[in-house]
Amino acid sequence: MENHNHTALISKLLTCVAACENCATECLKEEDVKMMAGCIALDRDCADICSQAARLLQRNSVIAHQYLLLCEEICRLCAAECSKHQHQHCQDCAKACMECAEACHAHHEPITQD
């Protein structure tokens, strides 16, 4: 596993972090914040996990490619929630999450589960 092979993936992850941070902040300014509660919670988890994934890839961690499986999962959950709302920040976030999920899917490795 080499850093230079992961430039595009890392870029998707960091774009997703930025979109999630922005979406959560903008959701908190919306008139109906209550409706955005699920979005705010998922944005936070998704930003945290994608940020960690980027750093594991950047340091060539042995766990990086397994971590992407988790990352894909939270990106899909966050995209599904954000896509329900018409706010531009939600639509932008849904798009970034979906593209990130697909990039993670192309690179992840299985985790041993028992």
Binding site for a copy of itself (CB under 8 A): 3, 10, 14, 17-18, 21-22, 24-25, 28-29, 31-34, 36-37, 40-42, 44-45, 47-49, 51-52, 55-56, 58-63, 66-67, 69-70, 73-74, 77, 110-113
Tell the smallest beta-carbon distance from residue 36 to a copy of itself (Å).
8
In the complex, least distance from residue 104 CB atom to a copy of itself, rounded to whole angstroms: 12
Cβ closer to a copy of itself: 66 or 99?
66
Distance CA(77)–CA(41), nearest Å, equals 11
Helix (H, G, I), strand (E, B) or coil at 62: coil
Contact 90, 79 (CB under 8 A): no
- CA 114 – CA 106 distance, rounded (Å): 24
